[in-house]
Chain A
Amino acid sequence: MKVCMITFRSVTPAQRAEGVLKKAGVRCSIHRTPKWMEEQGCGYSVRLHRRDVPAAVPLLEKEEIPFRKVYLLRETGKPEEMRL
């Protein structure tokens, strides 16, 4: 499974994103953002399948839920920032 992570600055937008995405039928879960990924120190992220990212991002934009970045978690374990 190709997993992506959308990162958020705090738990509030991350939870709102989780709610919006689940309501739209997107399977996702909320996690702490890995330390090295979060430039500002601490944050939360939502994990979802890569195939759902193109639908998820406009949904978040429509709901005005700010997110930081989207990462693709490669099988090698090395994440790669996705350009949207």
Chain B
Amino acid sequence: MTYLDNGATSMNKPQAVLDAVRCALENCANPGRGGHTAAMTAARTVLRCRERAAQLFGCKPEQVVFTANCTQGLNMAIRTLVKPGDKVAVSGFEHNAVVRPLYALGAKTVVAGRKLFDPVDTLERFEDALRRGAKAAVFTHVSNVFGYILPVEELAALCRQYRVPFVLDAAQSAGMLPVDMEKLGADFIAMPGHKGLLGPQGTGLLLCADRLEPLLFGGTGSDSKNPGMPDYLPERGEAGTLNVPGIAGLSAGITYVQRVGIHKIFEKQQRQARRCASALERLGFRVFSGREQGGTVSFVPDRDCEEAAELLAQRGVAVRAGLHCAPLAHESAGTLETGTVRVSFGHDAAPWQTGNLLLALETLPKR
């Protein structure tokens, strides 16, 4: 299979990730609960992952809260910062993991910046929204549909300038682009563990500056007499037993990413995405590409996008079609009705993958 659906989750995980999961299943009990060897082995495994994540993302280990996925982290962050009726600035490229929690809270969403691959427009519209009294901001680092890399350092600076707390959605950038909590001055950064960080599904990280309102309430192995959740991190955000095998795999994934180097991984992805975009244009498709683009390319095929993806799957190429859980992004790009086919490269991006995609496209029945 030629796997080009890394925007959804990574595959072809490093062997070390598989080994770490198995090792944890064989050796780890419940971390932070007991004092016996298996419990302490689990606790060490968890701490190691926190420390590695903290090193990669410029924060302290205590600020790393484990979640089940990026969506959970975004919900926790949004619930902490946003009250019903608050005005919240978001980019025009947000995933439903941002849009739906805001809608559920009854927040007034202000969509700031809808032009693809136009950081100037993104910044101007965002500043406008902040100036007009936004209480919080939530923005993605990289569009999951189009691969547009938003100018997050400048957006963060604007938020700091206007003293507006913000959440960065690093779903499509963690493990591929530099993400630094301290440099950005973010209140929260949410990310999955199973995409660019190459961990197993069911893992995610929420980096918290200080405050956090829990979504789940329950045992943490600490402060047990207190009927309320502990008021300190990371336990405040981690009720219930942690996904230790997943965290062990995530730890190995982070180590792999650090060893290879995120710049190297990103360059490989971007090179193939650019090559792919040029070739798709030559084939006559409507392709969305620009300078500020990562390893993801979307295009509108010459038939229904789901049909195109199905035909590609029959030819051994895995891509994703439709709205990619991001109708706002499609609305911004004018593809809400058609959807797109998304090609997203991973840590193993290689010319043969682009070649297989193009070959498969060329063999589709003519319209």
Residues of A in contact with B (beta carbons under 8 Å apart): 9-13, 15-16, 19, 30-32, 39-44, 64, 66
Contacts and interface: CB of A to CB of B under 8 A. Distances in A.
Contact of B34 (A15, A19, A32): A32
Given A11-B43, A15-B47, A40 B224 contact: yes
A41 B220 CA distance: 11
Contacts, number: 57
B236 to A, nearest CB: 10
B230 A10 contact: yes
22 contacts: A9-B222, A10-B32, A10-B222, A10-B232, A10-B235, A11-B31, A11-B32, A11-B47, A12-B32, A12-B47, A12-B62, A12-B235, A13-B62, A15-B44, A15-B47, A16-B61, A19-B47, A30-B40, A40-B222, A41-B225, A41-B226, A42-B224
A78 B31 CA distance: 29
B60 interface: yes
Given A30-B40, A40-B222, A64-B60, A12 B50 contact: yes
Contact of B222 (A39, A42, A64): A42
B35 interface: yes
B221 interface: yes
Contacts of B220: 10
B73 interface: no
Contacts of B43: 11, 15
B234 interface: yes
Nearest to A66: B232
Contacts of A44: 32, 35
A40 B226 CA distance: 7
Interface string B13-54: 000000000000000000110110000100110010010000
Contacts of A64: 60
A66 B232 CA distance: 10
Interface string B44-75: 10010010000000001110000000000000
Contact of A11 (B222, B224, B226): B222
A9 B32 contact: no
Contacts of B182: none
Given A31-B35, A32-B35, A12 B234 contact: yes
A35 to B, nearest CB: 10
Contacts of B235: 10, 12
A76 B124 CA distance: 71
Contacts of A15: 43-44, 47
Given A15-B43, A31-B35, A32-B35, A9 B223 contact: yes
B40 A41 contact: no
Contacts of A42: 221-224
A16 B32 CA distance: 13
What are the 5 A-B residue pairs with the smallest beta carbon separation, nearest first? A41-B224, A10-B222, A32-B35, A11-B32, A41-B225
Contacts of A11: 31-32, 43, 47, 221-222
B50 to A, nearest CB: 7
Contacts of B61: 12, 16
A41 to B, nearest CB: 3
Nearest to B35: A32
Interface string B212-233: 0000000011111110001010
Residue from A9, A12, A40, A64 having most chain B Cβ neighbours under 10 A = A12
A62 B234 CA distance: 20
Contacts of B60: 64
A49 to B, nearest CB: 20
Contacts of A39: 225
Nearest to A29: B40
Given A40-B222, A41-B224, A42-B224, A9 B232 contact: yes
A64 B210 CA distance: 14
